[in-house]
Structure 1
Amino acid sequence: MGFLNKDLLSKIFPNHVNLFEQANNNVIFQNYIKTKSQSCNPLKTKNKSDYFKFINEQIIKNEAIDYLEFGVYEGGTIIDWPKINTNKNSRFFAFDKFPPKYPTPEIDDDRVHFVKGLFQETLHNFLKDFKVNSKLVIFINLNKKFDTLFCLSELDKILNEKCIIMFDQFGNLQHEFIAFHNYVKSFRRDFQFICQAENWRKCTIELLPRKKLHTPSKKLESYDPEIKKLNNNKKKANVVFLLIDDLRLDKFYGKNRSCYTPNIDLLLKKSIFFNSAISSADGTFASMGSIFTSQYPSSTGISWANNHSKARKFFENIRLTGYELHSTFPTGPGYYFFDTISQSFKKENCDIVDWKKGLSNGLDKIIHEHLITKKMTSPWFYYIHLMDLHLQRSVPSKFNSKEYGRTPYERKLSLIDSWLGKFFEIIDLDNTLLIVTSDHGEYTLDDKLRPDFIPILQENSKIKKNKISHSFLNSIINATIPSYLDEWGRPRTIGQVGLKILRTIIAPYRKQKFRQTLDKYQIRGTYKRGKNYLYDEAIRVPLLFTGAGIEHTEIINDLVRHVDIFPTLADLMNIPINKKNIDGRSLVNIIDGKHETEIPAIIESMPLLEEPVGDVIGVRTTNYKYFRSRSNPELDVALFDLKNDPKEINNLASSQSELVREMESILNKNLKSAPVIKEKITDLKKAQALKTLKEMGYD
């Protein structure tokens, strides 16, 4: 409301407008009824005493209670309750001023106690000595907003789970109701309605358990990284290679994050962490091929459809040096890369899991059982690939709240962190080397942006979930147009055609509105990978080493590359490799504190679905980023000063021609003209893959 003229408003409405307040409160009230009253019993009781009898008999079951009443008035309720609840271990406490305004009720029951005076003055001291012995039952008959809010706020320290709160004037939306609403929001409490009477005038609520956020792994907390180097040990260490698909650096580490990650935060303190690791490509298979071959995609030709067998050499080298190979990775149409590399693993040691399965619906158990029940013979190498961050994955309900992050992406990272806590409890880091990285980053939406409003994301937006239930309309919308085919040769429906026309009409308006309301960096949150740009959100990833062979902890700012991971592992694991045929180098010297001259990272976009190579290529150094069209050096040229412009907003290509030529020279020295394509997936597999990849948002 900051844009409204406050002086003008005060002239139009010089006094408080109760109607507006009630209308606003009613919106909140109706939403609670929709979401919190699934198990609520509407009661038709003749009087208040019958209402309380129902609660005692059906809900409390006459168990012992600690009953606290606020607003005793003439004492009818505090007289009734000791008669209704006959459990000898119950206690009853009544708070009010009593005389001279109202007499103290005369009750011959030593279970009943009176606390005389304004409860704003007496409740705090009462709670200092009060200990809850039984189920808490609170009765509020105050009908004043601030009195009710004070009461609930002061009581919060003893309001445990399953506590029952009864309101006598809940239907007054300006007092007891809104006070309760402010309390649950302020103290982050959840609840459910149990019963109500007289059209919500009387209402009984059960508080639910407080949400307990996960804590760091105790085993990780006790882990001491100050151990001997692996190279000095006779016994080979086990290795876990954990790849978290779509994980961008600034959501794993740094200030630009709101996710809840106590295990990741602790892990960073016990690791060698490279905070400037650059992916070779912004797509999964090209970048993973680069990790597993230590060659750039322009050399290997590995893409979603081509040259998958080249990636097997990484695992074959590990196996030949005496390691037992294990893996858990995704499968499905479009994931034939994993099907190919799985041939290097024994079938019983390889969990190939449907790509739609994540840590919240079974993958966590599969990994746990693999580590616990499978007979893993040391030394072993275990490759784990997680897909939980993918944009098309929904957030599990347990993590879908602000405590776990502002955005769905960050909440899913909080889910992964929760799993990591359990993972560290069963991993022996003294004898296991752990590597954590990602294939690429991701362009993620700001928490204020709605996916169904963004033109570039409409194909995968919430619009798809809007179902029309009317059978007649469904029959029209789902009717096909034989002459209008989709990319798989199927007739499109009238609904699909209509939606496409509507999007075409309104897209220019939506794009204009975006440009007017968002800055360039915020708009980038709507971008997709594999296009004519290569921003750091998609190619700057975490790279972390901890456990056996890592003798100290440090955050290292040196620029490193995907192609450096394989040579580094080879050094740490004593695996001989032919260093002449790779583009990467070992990072062990940098880990040991020795200076190494920076080598620029060659970057490229992932290939479009029908192409062997991506459209964009470039160079990333510590200070500069340069990229352009692969086919035309004059097209889509971008140059950014990363030191002074880390968000890559100001394109300097037109004003820094000399620097462009310098970066172009680096690029040409490292880039192969065209990779040799020796193997392709079949046309049938390609058609199946196209469908799956489009479902995932690729085009």
Structure 2
Amino acid sequence: MTAKKSYLVILRIFFVVFSLMFIRDAFYKWDGYSFYMKFTDFLPDLSLVFIIWSIMGILLASVFWFAVYGITIIMPKPLKFIRFEHLIAGLLGCGFIYYIKTKFFHFSFQRLTGLDNFTTYTIIIVFTALVIWFFHKHIEKILHRLKISEYVERVLIGIAQRITPVASLFALLFIFAVLFTAFQKNTSEIKSESVQLSKIKTEDQFKKRPDIIMVVWDTLTAQDMSMYGYNRPTTPFLSEWSKDAIVFEKAYASCNWTYPSTMSLLTGQRPWTHRAWHYRPFYLRNKKYGRNLPSILKDNGYIIYGLVQNSIAHPAGLGMSDAFLVQDPSNTLSLPKNWWLDRTISHVKNDLARDWIINNEYISNVLRKYRPDTYTTIFPPDIVYNRFLKKISEINPKNHSRLPFFAYLHVLPPHHPYLPSNLQTGILGNHNEFNTKRKQSVEFELPEYIPERQKNIDILRERYDEFILYSDDLFKSFISSLSELIDISNTIIVFTSDHGEIFSHGYLGHSGPHLYEELVHIPLVIKTPGEKNGAVINVPVEQTDIAPTILELANIPVPSWMEGSSLFPLTNGETRQSLPVFSMQLISNPAIEYQQITKGTFAVWEGNYKLIHYLEDNKSLLFNLKTDPNETQNIFDEQPEIARRLKSLLDDKLALANKSIIQSSELSMK
């Protein structure tokens, strides 16, 4: 075949194969996404991924052709008989042998030879080349007699001709996808906005309100903080800093992972009300959730900052972008990725499209094998802290006549991978164990673990605790710089987390079906102006209480749609009626339309008692946290009255939530 003809044949085959792979993936993805997304929401992402996937196929076809055809060009004169078709036949033969080896013969070259795969394959290639060189005359005769090149050429051309109608159809779809995507309004990329004070109400009453800074550490459990009695010195600065603040000993997250819990934090609503229990930023980007704390503060004269390292906690993903006057994209709040392929993929701003590509089984295997390892986090918190300090320095922060600000600062550490700086790594022991991203990822591939893995899990917990210590040190620097820049005497600082992290009960990490204390017991510290003595509040409170508390501290009425209750009476030394506290994991429920909640895990706290209920299994656990803080003794059968009361309380609340869903459905149909 001529160069042009061979290239077009290879291009056509690659294009069709990649398109068929895409269709297979598309059906698989839609089977999952249809659980919480309409097809009209899915279509723009489907179109974009098809374009990217097709371009990847074209590029790989070009690289493959140039590599194979290039070999025939640079071939030494004695081997000029080897044609493009011969190399294709050889590659197909090697591919077939490799398939048979992996499918039916489970052995490793590395175990047999003691060499790594790269060295082994290099030796095989060199040996094959030498054999061809020394026996090229015999090989030339054999190839000529068998007419392999003619046969391969006929096969390739035949395949290309037969798939031409399919290739034409996919090419037409590609053109439609390009046109469709071009006309779609791109709202997935958030641009940092400048503060436009002229657009904000400037009544004098607004200027007297306090500045409010809410610092959220991702995946921080109170169980591993020395401030809360943990045996390792993980939070020395926080322990000292909180002495003249209000510390809540029993604060609980509304869910065990970021998206639902952050939504609860910023709305004062539980997940069964805001219904954000799936990761949905990729289609919420065109939707708004108007009932939120930042919007209320904005309407009352606050300048709203949002600096968030976790993209699924970003205002855009939560449907709250309109409330934030300053919000930088999450991908601008990290260090540059250290591998060209990661940097290339990061240019895909669409969350669903990027995840689709990264999680493809072939691409993920390449990333896993060849990505350089990471030794320290690329999400240092001081990027967020310093960016915020720079932003507020632009508005003359010590000017008492300016408007107040509310800052939502969400830093990713101590979320895994647990990669502190070299100063903290290994300070708790086992310095060389699980000290890189790749080493840790192996354990996180199977979050459910057997007892034999507990030793490794315990070492991972050491890395996690070191990451907390690292975060504590950077928070200390931030508070020091903040004190020099703004008027602390008129500033409220709220320190908390979105959820926790677990290293016990046979589960590693977060999310999943469980709601044990490690997963949902979070820190909550409120530092108010003029507070000198501090206080420790030992009654259960929940994440949804934070938003109404902030409003009351700012002297703004709390709307009735917030389910949480203000903690202001407690911060002011008063008492508050004891209220039950709820947490829930509802990801197994569809989040599309108005379907009732029929699956999931729920937890309810009342006093010292905690009930965990697995709805699908109709299984309940009851613990007395005072006598059994590690939740190892299920007393559900031993305390039937308490169990019945808490279960009834949960059933009643869930029934009300489902009733509200039905009513919303009926209203939407009118």
TM-score scaled by length of structure 2: 0.50
Structure holding more helix per residue: 2
Structure holding more strand per residue: 1
The structure whose RCO (Cα within 8 Å, separation 6+) is larger is: 2
Higher Rg: 1
TM-score scaled by length of structure 1: 0.48
